[in-house]
Amino acid sequence: MIEQIDSLKGKKYPAKKHCQTVYKHLLTKKSGDKYSFFVSGEADVLYQYSDQARPFRQNRYFFYLTGCDIPGSHVIYDGPSDKLTLYLPDIDYDDVMWSGMPLSIEQALSEYDIDDCKYASELPSVLSGSDHEIHSLDINSTNEQFKTLVKASDKDFFYALDEARLIKDEYELELMRHASKLTDNCHFAVMSALPIENKETHIHAEFMYHALRQGSKYQSYDPICCSGPNCSTLHYVKNDDDLSEKRSVLIDAGCEWSLYASDVTRCFPINGDWSKEHLQIYNIVLKMQQETMAMIKPGTQWEDCHLTAHKVLIEEFLKLGIFKSDYSAEEIFQSKVSGRFFPHGLGHLLGMDTHDVGGYPNYEDKDELLRYLRLRRKLQPGMVLTDEPGVYFSPFLLEDVLNNPEKMKFIDKAVLDKYWYIGGVRIEDDLLVTEDGYENFTKITSDPEEISKIVKAGLAKGVKGFHNVV
Ligand SMILES: [Mn+2]
C-alpha cells in the first residue's frame, strides 16, 4: 500500500496511464498492433534453511504497471482492449493466522488504478486463451509456470518499459519530492549530531533513525558513511571506522518513499572548521556542480555536462598546482589523467531504481572518461537525475599514474601529497529536468559556510543536548 502524503490524498498511483505509455512505445517497435503484456511481481522468498523471509523488494516494472506491492501478484495489460487486470495471490488460509486477512478483490479495485482484479489461479486459462502475443520479462521463479504461454525477454518490451519509466509523471514526482525532503532532514540531523558521533557507524545510525521516524522504512541503497581517507572509496559501506583524528566526513544516503528513491551526498568537516585543503577541494567540487547544473535543460547532451565537470577540475587543479602549469588545460584533458581524480560519472537517472533505467550506459567505452557515465543521452523534460561531481585522492586509483611517467609528468607530487588525508569530496543533488531548466529537489545546503554553522551549532549543544545517546 502506498503511504499517503497530503499532496496525493484521494489520488491513485497512475498504473493505467503507465500501461498505455508502455504500449505506445512498444507499438513503435512492432509491425503488428495486437499485443498484451504479462508481468509477475516478486514473491516472498525464505532464506535457505530458515523460516525467515528475505526483505521484500517489489519488482520495479511490476510496480510501475500496477502500483501494487503485494508479494506473489501478477498483471496482464491487454493492448487492443486497453484493459488492466491485477491478479492477487490465491488466499493461503494457513497464512491468515500469522499475517491477517489479505487484501480483498473489492479493496484492490478501490485502491489501485485497475480495470479488474482476479485471483492468480485463473491465470493459466486467461493466458492460454489469448489470440495475440503476450510479452513478459525474463523467466524466473516468479513466472516459470507460465513460460510456455508468453514471449519472454523481448528487447522491444524492455525498451518500451524503460522509455516509459524515463519520463516521470506528476504523481511520481510528488513521491520523489517527498523522498528528497525526508533525506534533507536526515542529512541535517547527521550534520547536527557530531557530539554523539565518534564512529562512522553512528553517522549511519543517525541517518537511519531519522529516516525511519519519518516513515521511510527502506533506504534507496546502502548508506555510504565515511571519513578521512575512506572517502576515496566510492561505494564504501563498511561504515565502521573511528572518526577521531580524521577531519573530513562524507555521507551518501537517501530515503525511499513508496519505492521511489532519493540519492544525496554531503560532506563536512568533523569539528565544523574546514581545513585549508579540504575547503579548496570542496569549492572545486561545488564549482563543478554549479557549472554543470547551469547547463541542465531539455536538449543538453549529458556527456557535455560530464566533460565540462572535468574541465573545471583541470582548471582548478592548475590553480592549486596539483597539475603543473607547464601543460595546457587542453593537453591535460586529452591525457585523461583527470579521470583518476574524478573516476565516476557526473550523474545518473533516478526513479524507482537509484540508478534508474533508460540511461543506456556503455561500460565498454574506449574513452575512459565516459566509461562509467550511466546516462548517455539528451535531457528531456520529466527526467530526474543526479548531479554529483567528486574529487578523490585514492591510492588505488592513482597508483598506476604515480608509476607512469607519461601521466605523472602533469602532476606535482609534492603538492598532491598535501591532499591525501581528505580522501575525497562529493556533492550530490537530485534534479528534475523542466521545460526551461531544472527543479532541484534537494534543499539541504551545500554552502560551506552554512554547513560549518550547522556543524558548530550541533557541537555547541554537547552530548547532553541529545536524547538518543546509547
Ligand atoms: Mn548517486
How far apart are the CA of 260 and the centre of ligand 1, in A?
A: 14
The set of residues, in sequence order, having a beta carbon less than 8 Å from that of 154 and lying 6+ positions away, is: 135
Q: What is the pLDDT of residue 246?
A: 86
Residue 253 CA, ligand 1 centroid: distance in Å: 9
Cα of 131 vs centre of ligand 1, distance in Å, is: 44
Confidence of residue 1 (pLDDT cuts 50, 70, 90): very low
Extents of the domains making up the chain: 6-166, 170-465
Q: Which fold has domain 170-465?
A: Creatine Amidinohydrolase (3.90.230)
Query: Measured in angstroms, how far is the CA atom of residue 374 from the centroid of ligand 1?
Result: 10
Q: What's the gap in Å between 178 CA and the centre of ligand 1? A: 17
How far is it, in rounded angstroms, from Cα 202 to Cα 230? 16
Instruction: At 406, give phi and psi (nearest 5°).
Output: -65, -35
pLDDT at 410: 98
Q: What is the mean pLDDT of residues 69-81?
A: 97
Q: How far, in Å, is the centroid of ligand 1 from the Cα of 354?
A: 7
Ligand 1 centroid vs 302 CA: distance in angstroms? 15
End-to-end CA distance of the chain: 34
CA of 349 to the centre of ligand 1 (A): 9
How much distance in Å is there from the Cα of 388 to the middle of ligand 1?
Answer: 7
3 pLDDT exceeds 70? no
Q: What is the dihedral of CA 145, 147, 149, 151, to 10 degrees?
A: 150
Stretch 117-121: mean pLDDT: 97
How much distance in Å is there from the Cα of 147 to the middle of ligand 1? 36
Ligand 1 geometric centre to CA of 294 (Å):
19
Q: What is the mean pLDDT of residues 88-101?
A: 88
pLDDT at 468 over 60: no
Q: Ligand 1 centroid to 117 CA: how many Å?
A: 37
Dig out the grid coordinates for 63 from the structure. 510496480
Question: Which carries the bigger pLDDT value, residue 467 or residue 288?
Answer: 288
Q: 40: Cβ–Cβ under 8 A, 6 or more apart, which residues?
A: 59, 62, 73, 74, 136, 137, 142, 143, 146
| Domain with residues 6-166, CATH architecture | 3-Layer(aba) Sandwich (3.40)
Poorest-pLDDT segment among 2-11, 60-69, 152-161: 2-11
User: What tens digit of pLDDT does each residue of 394-416 get?
Assistant: 999 999 899 999 999 999 999 99
**All cell numbers assigned to 356:** 534508474
pLDDT of residue 99: 83
* Residue 15 alpha carbon to ligand 1 centre in Å: 27
Q: Which amino acid is at 419?
A: Y
Which whole number is the average pLDDT over 362-375? 96
- Determine which helix (DSSP H) or strand (DSSP E) holds 260, and give its type and residue range: strand 260-261
- CA of residue 210 to ligand 1 center, whole Å: 20
Ligand 1 mean position, distance from CA 386 (Å): 6
Q: Which three cell numbers stand for residue 206?
A: 543517525
Give the burial class of 241: count Cβ atoms within 10 A of its Cβ; 0-12 exposed, 13-18 middle, 19 or more buried. Answer: middle
pLDDT for the residue numbered 244: 80
The β-bridge relationship of strands 116-119 and 74-78 is unpaired
Global pTM exceeds 0.85: yes
Q: Report CA(153)–ligand 1 centroid distance (Å).
A: 28
The count of other CB atoms within 10 Å of the CB of residue 278 is 22
CA 227 – ligand 1 centroid, Å: 18
What's the confidence (pLDDT) of residue 467?
A: 62
Q: How far is the CA of 70 from the centre of ligand 1 (A)?
A: 28
354's grid cell: 537509484
Alpha carbon of 113 to ligand 1 centroid (Å): 31
The mean pLDDT value for 284-309 works out to 98
d(CA 268, CA 446): 9
pLDDT value at position 464? 79
The owner of cell 564504501 is 236
Amino acid residing at 327: Y
Residue 264 Cα to ligand 1 middle (Å): 7
Instruction: Tell me the per-residue pLDDT of 416-461, one tens digit each, with 9 for 90 and over.
Output: 999 999 999 999 999 999 999 999 999 999 999 999 999 999 999 8
* CA of 24 relative to ligand 1 center, distance in Å: 30
Mean pLDDT of the chain: 95
Report the distance separating Cα 231 and Cα 253, nearest Å.
14
